[in-house]
């Protein structure tokens, strides 16, 4: 029903724009990863040296593995907090459902930075938590290990991604036809068995979407480590950031970025396929 002119009129501007301002920059990133820096200048000489450096220098692999561990912990913690919350809201909250849902959404509107900052003020050695512990006389001297550790990074990122993980799980739970749940109970399954055999499998696509999101965004985070991570909480994106800053080795930084991008895209590819297979038919 739409004319050819209409179709090209709506397709062309976004195509051109996205090609110029997204595809070209991402391609430029890829191109940089095959170039090198010589005497402080980026030389357009195609080679695999950056990737060789990444594979042979153990520091990069180590930090990448640490980042993946941190991201996995964040994902797990967010699921452990977000799933039961979504389950409670969807199945047990009754009339309060809508208002509680809004209560989960509200923190999403609070700046990422501000939430990280809040954790910093809580965990610091002269922070609120230490003040509280000393007020209760549980400790006499401030506890120092809370801030500037991988623990603090995991805590802060879990706090940020729990609502994000909650959302798709809640949506999936809300779409489960209630007669299925009732049928399972009528046929004598215990609530636990109903959950395990009916509810959990049907909510897996939502769970997967939330988990992927939390994992990918935590993996590439560089602000949380700077804010609360300290030296032991340094993540792969911090290395990239320093390579683009003081260290001035854009090609090597680009190569690491390409690796992060590849991990992300591979993960998305597999979760998409899994979600399709698990989707409720």
Across-strand partners of 37? 42
DSSP secondary structure letter of residue 48:
S
* Closest to another protein by CB, 150 or 220: 220
Interaction of residue 24 with another protein, rule CB under 8 A: yes
Rounded least distance, CB 185 to another protein, Å = 10
- Min CB(22)–another protein separation in Å: 6
Tell the smallest beta-carbon distance from residue 265 to another protein (Å).
9
- The label of the residue with tokens 């593995």 reads 65
Q: Which is nearer to another protein, 57 or 269 (CB)?
A: 269
Task: Examine residue 135 and tell whether it contacts another protein (CB under 8 A).
Answer: yes
List the interface residues with another protein, window 179-208 (CB under 8 A).
179, 181-182
| CA–CA distance, 229 with 10 (Å, rounded to integer) | 46
Q: Work out how close the CB of 121 gets to another protein at its nearest, in angstroms, rounded to a whole number.
A: 5
Please, what is the minimum distance in Å from the beta carbon of residue 155 to another protein?
9
The DSSP element (H or E) to which 171 belongs, if any, is helix 150-174
Reported as half-sphere exposure (CB side, CA atoms, 13 A), residue 29 has a value of 18
Distance CA 225, CA 227 (A): 5
In sequence order, the 6+-apart residues with CB closer than 8 A to the CB of 159 are: 115, 119
Contacting residue, 118, 198, 274, 275, with another protein by CB under 8 A: 118
Strand partners, 272: none
Interface with another protein in residues 228-257 (CB under 8 A): 237, 240-241, 244, 250, 253-254, 257
* CA–CA separation, 29 and 182 (whole Å): 53
Our finding on whether 159 is near another protein (CB under 8 A) is yes
Asked if 269 touches another protein (CB under 8 A), the answer is no
Distance separating alpha carbons of residues 139 and 130, to the nearest angstrom:
8
Which residue in 37, 63, 76, 104 binds another protein (CB under 8 A)?
A: 104
Cβ closest to another protein, residue 167 vs residue 208? 167
Instruction: Report the residue from 44, 47, 139, 177 that binds another protein according to the rule CB under 8 A.
Output: 177
Q: What single DSSP character describes residue 41?
A: E
CB of 144 to another protein, least distance (A): 14
Q: Does 40 bind another protein (CB under 8 A)?
A: no
The answer to whether 147 touches 127, Cβ cutoff 8 Å, is yes
Distance of alpha carbon 62 from alpha carbon 215, whole angstroms: 18
Contact status: 13 vs another protein (CB under 8 A): yes
């Amino acid at each position: 029903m739409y004319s050819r002119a209409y179709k090209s009129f709506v397709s062309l501007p976004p195509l051109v724009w996205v090609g110029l301002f997204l595809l070209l920059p991402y391609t430029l990133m890829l191109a940089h990863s095959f170039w090198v820096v010589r005497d402080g200048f980026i030389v357009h000489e195609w080679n695999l040296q950056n990737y060789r450096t990444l594979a042979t220098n153990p520091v990069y692999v180590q930090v990448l593995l640490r980042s993946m561990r941190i991201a996995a912990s964040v994902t797990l913690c967010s699921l452990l907090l977000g799933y039961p919350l979504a389950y409670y809201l969807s199945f047990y909250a009754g009339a309060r459902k809508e208002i509680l849902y809004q209560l989960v959404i509200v923190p999403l509107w609070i700046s990422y930075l501000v939430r990280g900052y809040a954790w910093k003020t809580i965990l610091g050695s002269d922070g609120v938590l230490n003040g509280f512990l000393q007020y209760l006389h549980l400790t006499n001297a401030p506890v120092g290990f809370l801030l500037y550790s991988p623990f603090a990074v995991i805590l802060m990122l879990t706090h940020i991604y729990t609502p994000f993980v909650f959302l798709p799980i809640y949506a999936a739970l809300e779409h489960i036809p209630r007669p299925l749940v009732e049928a399972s109970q009528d046929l004598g399954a215990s609530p636990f068995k109903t959950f395990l055999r009916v509810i959990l499998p049907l909510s897996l696509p939502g769970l997967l979407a939330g988990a992927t999101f939390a994992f990918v965004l935590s993996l590439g985070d560089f602000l949380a480590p700077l804010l609360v991570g300290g030296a032991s909480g340094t993540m792969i994106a911090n290395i990239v950031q320093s390579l683009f800053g003081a260290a001035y080795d854009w090609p090597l930084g680009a190569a690491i970025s390409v690796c992060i991008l590849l991990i992300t895209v591979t993960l998305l590819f597999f979760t998409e396929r899994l979600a399709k297979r698990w989707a409720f038919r």
